[in-house]
Structure 1
């Protein structure tokens, strides 16, 4: 298969480049339309009680969306300002599609006690189509912003989604502007030539175009989260550079053994291309775990990110060989170095870890476990506007309300839907739980109880209230919805489906690693060390963003919980990325073992020949992730930090120390498989490495 891809790419390189050029135009043309389709409805889970209750309310009493304007920074009782606000309220009421705008001066709770702020809620009519709703929102928001006051902020409802989408687009552009020149500069250092350095960026740009196009395609059939843009773009950019770096370094090495450029490309695709193929499949399989969850958000993220990974993989296996066939003759071969000089540092590191394997394990494993310790207290929450950068309008509105109004102002209540068939005693029991309960009757006989929770909408008090309501109602036809109920249902969904997701991913990873190595022990060892590094990275994220340690250095603050989006995405993506570097090293170890038959030399030679690639790739990927952390959006900061740490910990502690130490500890048993499975691998395992010119044996020293 890989040989056929290589032949096709090198036989008609201009055709391949033209096809990818059209793909780029499509991605940056049609694909960017996804920015107008982003949704912030992350916690919705079809089939849960909270979703069922929300759908029932929508059918029984359709209500329109709502937004809020906040006027602050001056005495709101000033006659001129009061007249200005009165005119704005009248104008907004006259906007087609607006259902209600209360007078903030005569409606209780809308004017701050300190007299320096007021809230103007705007409720839209129900049943508006998307275009009409957007026109109404824009007209109402624009008119409120015209109020002549020091501070006027408008956000909430669908407007919040629009603002987040615009911010996501700005952050992606800024991250690309920051990361691409830095990545190019490092690639120039690595390759020593502009032509070689530009090729990974061409693949990276293809990955970005693929990210936009994949998201746009999925937006036709499902909601796409505001988080998807940054996550898929950062991963598409990073993996593309990784794969291109591996292929180019192998190409420069193969050029030392043949002057025929096409032959060097074929040998590169046969060897490094095999690693890229398995790496891409491994990352994609890691993301399939997200498909086990019924959450639309997690499923769409899993599909979109997996699609981007596959696009990166295909670009590395088709576009890059075409570019090399066309321009590779001008790329200088890797320099010949005296025997023992190439990869000397990594060879010494491998020998040290192999000789001191027990000591390495005794130090590295406890250190990683200490870093992972905060994970035991991890909490997740939907979050509020504090997750946003301080310069966003939604965050400024939130901060103004917190500053001027009593705690709980604007907090969405816990909503209880009591169906007509429910025992009236259940309603009385639920009302007794809190004095802050509002009651209204719905058409058809149902009753809605809105209980104002203390603290935040998804805080511990609110979620505890949801659980008490569900405990008190018994078997009656009573359902709970609202942010707190959605969070409780989301947590329950994660707890219920996480074991199945883990089994799905681990089974797929085991099959792929067995097909790659022919061993049953190496997949088990790889999964164990990967989970260890992943737990350490996630533990640090909890320590920073949940507990608040050093969060200010990243422009964030401790929120008491992680965004519910961060842990599943960090686990799924980082697990796949860790497999990347593991495969880079195992591929070289496997080649050395097949060539020499010496297990000790295979460990040293594998790290000698792959250490530089892994180090450079990890550094470049970390730079890409760090660039996406400049936006200040807390969930993206959490995901970016988690992935950066996971990559760096895996590429250093795990791959440079734990891998040679554990490989040395296992010895020849590392490559063991039962006879029946060995026959299966011999028959079906993918093995397309080109034959290499024999190299002199290098004493392993282990």
Structure 2
């Protein structure tokens, strides 16, 4: 319905058409400029290309496009225009304009270029902080790996629900066939901190019990029993807040963030913290806490048997000599 209304009420070359700006720097002859604009009009998805201002150093032209600024066809149109050979005499050709597919494409490219570095920084920082907290090698690695797997599952549901329209009936939104890269970036970075908090709740209590008793299985049971209700209440509070934002917002961007963060918290506070993390810790056993060692009843770290018995042997020898 909406695409038909857009096509009828706002035709591609009508008075309400949307346009992209093309700035051509350098002294370009009119014949070469006309050939260049005809080449643009020949690209699939391009409308009429017109000249609005031209002088000896700069030419301002526009080309019409139809549809949403983040449509795959319009993003391809920007790439195709930028890939064209500049007209003779041009020193530079720029394609842009506020609210155009060029801006959407550049923002997405910039976000995708920076996101891997941001995730790397977050992951490494988390590894270092968890190592300092637990003096363990495997616990930080497991925490970061499980967090990213949990977020990957959440992002998959988001793409299915919003990009492919799986949640359109429930959430009552118009499916545009794309997912905002900025929304995914925000969901991943914010949710990573939220899910790591739950990891700290559980593992801190398990680590405390293991260091006191030295029994990994018992430590996991005590840790889950002690933190289960706390994680459930904290997760429920976050779900209420985030789901309220997702279901009451009128912007698809905010709806995606609210629902995405809600899914991340639900998955992490249920499946991950109640099944994946305890099962992994049970399988790894004492290797979870390497190189740390549990403390003995005297409050000192357990030492190898030879180290503990050597002082008693010396004391026995001294008693024998003085006997």
- Give the TM-score taking structure 1 as reference length: 0.38
Structure 1 partner of 2:59: 447
Structure 1 residue matching 2:116: 3-state secondary structure? helix
| Aligned partners of 1:581 and 1:614 also within 8 Å | yes
Structure 2 residue matching 1:413: 3-state secondary structure? strand
Structure 2 partner of 1:110: none
- Deviation (angstroms), 1:461: 2.1
Instruction: Tell me whether 1:626 sits opposite 2:230 in the alignment.
Output: no
Structure 1 partner of 2:295: none
1: CA distance, partners of 2:109 / 2:29: 27
Structure 2 partner of 1:428: 35
Instruction: Tell me whether 1:417 sits opposite 2:23 in the alignment.
Output: yes
**Equivalences for residues 95-494 of structure 1 within 5 A:** 402=6, 405-408=9-12, 410-421=16-27, 425=32, 428-434=35-41, 436-442=48-54, 445-473=57-85, 476-482=91-97, 483-494=100-111
Structure 2 partner of 1:527: 144
| Aligned partners of 1:454 and 1:461 also within 8 Å | no
**Equivalences for residues 4-83 of structure 1 within 5 A:** none
Structure 2 partner of 1:672: 290
| Aligned partners of 1:458 and 1:484 also within 8 Å | yes
| Aligned partners of 2:51 and 2:59 also within 8 Å | yes
- Deviation (angstroms), 1:404: 5.8
- Deviation (angstroms), 1:448: 1.5
Structure 1 partner of 2:198: 581
- Deviation (angstroms), 1:648: 0.4
The number of aligned residues is 279
Structure 1 residue matching 2:50: 3-state secondary structure? strand
Structure 1 partner of 2:274: 656
- Deviation (angstroms), 1:411: 4.8
2: CA distance, partners of 1:500 / 1:463: 24
| Aligned partners of 1:413 and 1:451 also within 8 Å | yes
- Deviation (angstroms), 1:399: 9.7
Structure 2 partner of 1:515: 132
- Deviation (angstroms), 1:407: 3.9
1: CA distance, partners of 2:29 / 2:188: 45
- Deviation (angstroms), 1:423: 7.3
2: CA distance, partners of 1:517 / 1:422: 67
1: CA distance, partners of 2:62 / 2:37: 10
Among 159, 164, 171, which residue is 1:554 paired with?
171
2: CA distance, partners of 1:556 / 1:634: 7
- Deviation (angstroms), 1:557: 2.8
| Aligned partners of 2:242 and 2:259 also within 8 Å | yes
Structure 2 residue matching 1:447: 3-state secondary structure? strand
Among 544, 550, 560, which residue is 2:161 paired with?
544
Greater relative contact order (Cα < 8 A, sep 6+):
1
Instruction: Tell me whether 1:570 sits opposite 2:187 in the alignment.
Output: yes
| Aligned partners of 2:136 and 2:288 also within 8 Å | yes
- Deviation (angstroms), 1:518: 1.1
1: CA distance, partners of 2:38 / 2:69: 18
Structure 2 partner of 1:344: none
User: Kindly tell me: are residues 672 and 401 of structure 1, through their superposed partners in 2, closer, same or farther at Cα, counting changes over 3 Å?
Assistant: same
Please, which runs of 5 or more residues in structure 1 have no aligned partner? 1-397, 679-690, 692-702
- Deviation (angstroms), 1:426: 6.3
User: Kindly tell me: are residues 477 and 422 of structure 1, through their superposed partners in 2, closer, same or farther at Cα, counting changes over 3 Å?
Assistant: farther
- Deviation (angstroms), 1:667: 0.9
2: CA distance, partners of 1:547 / 1:570: 18
Listed one character per residue, the Cα deviations across residues 136-175 of structure 1 (whole Å, up to 9, x for unaligned) are xxxxxxxxxxxxxxxxxxxxxxxxxxxxxxxxxxxxxxxx
User: Kindly tell me: are residues 582 and 422 of structure 1, through their superposed partners in 2, closer, same or farther at Cα, counting changes over 3 Å?
Assistant: farther
- Deviation (angstroms), 1:507: 1.2
Listed one character per residue, the Cα deviations across residues 506-562 of structure 1 (whole Å, up to 9, x for unaligned) are 111111111221112111111111111111111111111111113221232322112
Structure 2 partner of 1:616: 233
Structure 2 residue matching 1:565: 3-state secondary structure? helix
2: CA distance, partners of 1:600 / 1:557: 50
User: Kindly tell me: are residues 670 and 455 of structure 1, through their superposed partners in 2, closer, same or farther at Cα, counting changes over 3 Å?
Assistant: same
Structure 2 residue matching 1:562: 3-state secondary structure? coil
Structure showing greater radius of gyration is 2
Structure 2 partner of 1:603: 220
